Amino acid sequence: MEFEKAKANAAKILGKSGKLPKTPGDLSKDISAFTKAKEETVAARNDFEAKILAVKQAASKASDTADAYKDVFEGSDFGLDAKDKDQKKQIDEATKMLTSALDSDIKDLQALKTVLEAVMKQIAGIKKSLDAAT
């Protein structure tokens, strides 16, 4: 710690007859507490960053799976005869219902991914700022 070195050197300069004034508090203890708190903050930031990344990756996977479901439903006759007019209507209605719901889910997942990407950028900015300050 820089201050402790300066304090020792100042005491040498003052000699046996000089005295350093009494200082309030315990700077060494406070610096130690700061260092511990900073390390905990960095660990929490890293953990948060990892969790946000995991959510983003999970959202991407869920979106990809929903797209795959859509492909299955759009190509399915659901065990009905597409040549029969009434059954064709049932196929079309079921396909539309399922794919519309999946489109809604995919849209929500994409919106979440956009938010998470912005959060990741904010975390990177915080990381850069904290690293530059220490």
40 within some domain: yes
Let me know if 4 is exposed, middle or buried by CB neighbors in 10 A (0-12, 13-18, 19+): exposed
15 within some domain: no
Which pLDDT value is given to residue 1? 65
Which pLDDT value is given to residue 126? 86
Angle, CA of 37, 43 and 44, to the nearest 5°: 85
Instruction: Tell me how far apart the terminal alpha carbons of the chain are, to the nearest angstrom.
Output: 14
d(CA 61, CA 54): 10
Closest Cα partner for 76 from 101, 95, 49? 95
Q: How many domains are there within the chain?
A: 1
Cα Rg of the chain, angstroms: 31
94 within some domain: yes
Instruction: Supply the range of the domain harboring residue 62.
Output: 25-133
d(CA 91, CA 82): 7
- List all residues 6 or more positions away from 93 whose beta carbon is below 8 Å from its beta carbon: none
30 within some domain: yes
Query: What is the pLDDT of the chain when averaged over all its residues?
Result: 93
What is the pLDDT averaged over residues 12-40? 91
48-65 pLDDT, tens digit per residue, is: 999 999 999 999 999 999
Are the beta carbons of 55 and 116 closer than 8 angstroms? Answer: yes
Give the predicted TM-score (pTM) of the model: 0.72
Which pLDDT value is given to residue 69? 97
Angle between helices 27-74 and 85-133 (to 10 degrees): 160
